Every structure is written in C-alpha cells, then in structure tokens.
Amino acid sequence: METLSLTGGFRDAPKDAAFAFRAVMNAMAKPGEINSVTGAEPPAGLSIAAGVVLLTLCDPETPLYLAPGFDRPELRDWITFHTGAPFAPANAAHFALGAWDDLPRGDFPLGTAAYPDRSATLIVEVDDLRSDGATLTGPGIKDSAALSLPDRTAFQQNAALFPRGLDFIFTCSDRLAALPRSTKVS
C-alpha cells in the first residue's frame, strides 16, 4: 500500500462527514440542485466530490464496483484504507464509480418490487455539471429543475422502472448533483 493512500481523507472526520452526508442527502432530496463539497483529497484522476461521496457512503458492508477507467491500484488502496469497502462485480455492487460510458448500467441490481432499496447507486464522474439541459420533475422539485445529463433516454427508461431502478450521483470537481429513480426526465 502506497503512503499516498493513507492521506486525503476527512481531516476532522466527524464534522467533515456530517457536512458531506448532509450535502449528499440534500442533493438526493432536491434532484438537479448542485451542491459544493469539501473535505477529501482523493488520488489524482478522481474529483473531490467523488472522493467525498465515497468517504461518506461507503463502508465495509457496501460493495463497490469500479469502472475500468477508475480501477487503479492507488484508488483501490485509498478506498480500502479510508472506507474498508469491498470491491465487487457490477451485479453485486451497492455503489459504482465511473464515467458514464464505462459503467455497465444494465448489470447493476435494480431492486425488486418488495425490496426496491436493494438497487445500486452510481457515482458518475462527468466533465461538466450545469443547471441546464434536461428538464427534471418529481418529488423534491417545486416546479421543474434542469441538469446537464449524459443521456436523457436512459434516465427516462430508469424512471419507468420505479419503484425499482438506479439512483445517480453526478460529480465534477468539488460539485455534485443527484438524480433519484423517482425523478422524471424530459
């Protein structure tokens, strides 16, 4: 394990984790709203926001899938040291990290009618995150919101599966936004 994997976690873990958890939950509760986060210094190639999400949501009981572009020893070591999350194939993952085109979206658990909570949450690293593009409606959105999405059709198909389906957290630099499966996209 490289020395770099031992650094970059929350400096004041209880306080930083609480602020980060609130930002992630706020993003899920208000789809399309972009939140800024701080507290993580992940390895090169991973955004601050993605690092914060991993530190906040992953633990030894949440299997994580890494897309090929993120499946690097230094990132695996960092995640292992700071979260203890085990790595898993897509069909057994609770969380996944990767770029949109590298994530095998059809392979992740979608939950069941009886247990919709047994689906995966995908942490999608994007090059740009803006409040424009696709129109979002649904729970947590007063009238409508807008968010730059990589593929509107995929999210429309995902919403049609509700209460099953995937949840998404988009990360870019120090910003994140969420798109729960209950959100309608047009």
Ordered mean pLDDT values, 10 residues apiece, the chain (186 residues): 61 87 96 94 95 96 98 96 97 98 97 96 98 97 97 96 97 98 97
Rg (CA), the chain: 16
- Output the pLDDT for position 10: 73
Quick one: which H or E segment has residue 78?
Answer: helix 73-83
pLDDT for position 12: 83
The contacts of residue 153 (CB under 8 Å, 6+ apart) are none
Q: Is 58 helix (H, G, I), strand (E, B) or coil?
A: coil
pLDDT at residue 13, as a whole number: 81
> What is the pLDDT, as a whole number, of residue 3?
45
pTM for the predicted model, two decimal places: 0.95
Phi-psi region of 119 (alpha: psi -120 to 50; beta: other; left: phi over 0): beta
Collapsing DSSP to helix, strand or coil, 164 comes out as coil
Position 5 scores a pLDDT of 59
Nearest to 106 by CA among 125, 91, 117, 126: 91
Residue 142 burial by Cβ neighbours in a 10 Å radius (0-12, 13-18, 19+) = exposed
Give the Cα separation of 53 and 22 in Å (integer). Answer: 11
Q: What's residue 14's pLDDT?
A: 84
Q: Quick check: helix, strand or coil at residue 126?
A: coil
Quote the CA–CA distance of 46 and 125 in Å, as a whole number. 8
Q: In Å, how far from its chain's centre is CA 46?
A: 12
**Domains annotated on the chain, with CATH:** 3-185 (3.40.50.11310)
AA identity, residue 64: L
